[in-house]
Amino acid sequence: MFFTLIEWFARHGRPLPWREPGCSPWAILVCEVMSQQTPVSRVLPRWNMWMERWPEPSDLAAAAPAEVLVAWDKLGYPRRALRLRECAVVVTEQYGGVLPRQREDLLALPGIGPYTADAIIAFAYRERSTVLDTNIRRVLCRINGTALPPATLRKEEIARAEALVPQDGEEAAQWNAALMELGALVCTSRNPACSQCPLVAQCQWLAAGQPMNAAPRKPQGFTGTHREARGKIMAVLRSAHSPISRADLLKKSGLTESRFGEALDSLLSDGLAARDSAGTYQLPAAQ
């Protein structure tokens, strides 16, 4: 199964810049953070801009939070941008600007969870780790006969995935990357292209007739949500050239008072917006 998948990846894997030899561990981390719940097509131009502007952790650490949030633009979940900057500060001050390679050290960094730590170990340092993003989990569940993975990661799922990871670090990195790409391009959540899958002979889900044997998933909407309201306020703050009054912020956001007030309070609480002594609002100037 390993060689079949790797051969497929060599022919069909996308030529993404963070996969190129010599791409720094920091650049790979930036990609991983940006890619959380965000398609590669949206990440790519923003990642290129960031790496040109802030190629090293020390560069991002020296940037103002407001500058970072403006550069994050419409990637969504802007708290990721501030956590990435916080991470850059720690890496610069405690690790001499070099991203650590030990899992426990990575997990101690701001904004780094188990998936991201394992991805850095595999893709940046080419060492053995079990990477489990949504795409990989879906591929492995289908190989084992289930349409979709459970909503939360379970111990047995981790153990099953870990048993398939090659012992050699370089091969493990290739395996993880190839599985991820297969899930992104072929073994998709909806309408998988099974006729193009290199693992079709191993897929128990296909052999069983593609049963819908996974727990039903409720589609995540956006219009009318708290997240949408936060995004509208952030868009106004990013484009404002000076502090803005609450009344103007409300008007330009296009929100109702009830949605606006709750969203603004949450942005202030998260450190994504700031209120000055004059009662006007802006992006955070310092942290």
User: So what's the pLDDT on residue 28?
Assistant: 98
CB contact at 8 A, 110 and 130? no
Tens of pLDDT along 160-219? 999 999 999 999 999 999 999 999 999 999 999 999 999 999 999 999 999 987 766 666
* Given 32, 86, 157, 181, the catalytic residue: 32
d(CA 107, CA 114): 7
A 10 A CB-CB count for 55 gives 14
User: Model confidence over 31-90: pLDDT tens digits?
Assistant: 999 999 899 999 999 999 999 999 999 999 999 999 999 999 989 899 999 999 999 999
Model pTM? 0.91
| DSSP string of 175-231, one letter each residue | HHHHHHHHHHHTS-SSS--GGG-TTGGG-HHHHTT----S--------TTSHHHHHH
Taken in order 209, 181, 124, 69, is the CA torsion positive or negative?
A: negative
Q: Rounded to the nearest 5°, which phi and psi values hold at 183?
A: -65, -35
- Per-residue pLDDT tens over the stretch 10-30: 999 999 999 999 999 999 999
pLDDT over 70 (residue 287): no
Cβ 238 vs Cβ 73: under 8 Å: yes
Could you give the CA distance from residue 110 to residue 95 in angstroms, rounded to a whole number? 14
Task: Clarify whether 32 is annotated catalytic.
Answer: yes
Dihedral sign (CA 134, 136, 142, 144): negative
CA distance linking residue 7 with residue 11, whole number of Å: 7
